[in-house]
Amino acid sequence: MIYRHEQVGRIYIALLGFLAVVCIVVAITTHSTSLALMLGAILVLVCISFARLSIEVDRSGLRWGMTFGIPGGYIPMEEIVSVDIVPVAFWYGIGIHLTLRGWVWNVALGRGVQIHRCGGMPIVLGTDEPEALVAAIGRGRSG
């Protein structure tokens, strides 16, 4: 393993607090605690599922995945053409989504690493350590 990093999205922690309030309001206004609990459980599971992004680099390739590893992705080193540090602006949002830059995977705003690959759409991985990720990919590509 050349590099491993996990980033936790603080926005998801705040969202969990907000969802707790929403569930309490639903329970009070509908007089249905079971509905509020079911709604809360589903929303908490979704938030937890997308609250952490793990990125790993080894000699064979680049792997990434959300909290439980699914969804995730893999690019073999031989398919990586170049990498660039890019801004991840607020209009790209947080999560997994298709943009003009390609697929963006992030749990926070700030910066990311855009991976250009031969024959495929670029991928942007949001990270609070873009320089370290670029260096690790460079070490992996050099053998």
Below-70 pLDDT ranges, the chain? none
Query: With contact defined as beta carbons under 8 Å apart, do 87 and 111 qualify?
Result: yes
Residues 96-133: pLDDT tens digits? 999 888 899 999 989 999 999 998 899 999 999 999 99
Q: pLDDT value at position 2?
A: 93
Q: pLDDT value at position 90?
A: 82
Q: Quick one: tokens of 83? A: 């990498």
Q: pLDDT value at position 28?
A: 78
Strands 80-88 and 72-76: unpaired
* Rounded CA separation 109/49 (Å): 18
Domains of the chain with CATH codes: 1-143 (2.30.29)
pTM for the complete prediction?
0.84
* Rounded CA separation 58/1 (Å): 5
Q: pLDDT value at position 52?
A: 93
